[in-house]
Amino acid sequence: MVVLQRERRNNGPDVWVFRWRELNPNGQKTNRKIVVGTVEQYPVQAAAQKAVDALRIHVNKETPRAALPKTVVSIVRIIWVLVTC
């Protein structure tokens, strides 16, 4: 789940909020969010989305799941290295 939403504030202008879900090493999902900027900084969602694109790369790198091997070949290589060393 990755979402960019406009959120109201009690004081000050509305803000754009980027929300995502991370998978913890123990398998549980954790909801995360970060304020991208105000609607004064990014008047339209497309402008806020451009700011989020760079952030999304950082979020994907930081998730524990990104560090896991993605193919069977990767898993076999890791096991082979562990067994042969």
Residue 30 pLDDT = 86
Range 61-65 contact pairs with CB under 8 angstroms and sequence separation of 24 or more: 62/22, 63/22, 63/23, 64/22, 64/23, 64/24, 64/25, 65/22, 65/23
Residue 59 pLDDT = 64
Domain interval for residue 65:
2-84
Residue 68 pLDDT = 53
Q: How many domains does the chain have?
A: 1
Q: Which residue ranges in the chain fall short of pLDDT 70?
A: 1, 57-80, 82-85
pTM of the model: 0.64
Q: What is d(CA 18, CA 3) in angstroms, rounded to the nearest whole number?
A: 6
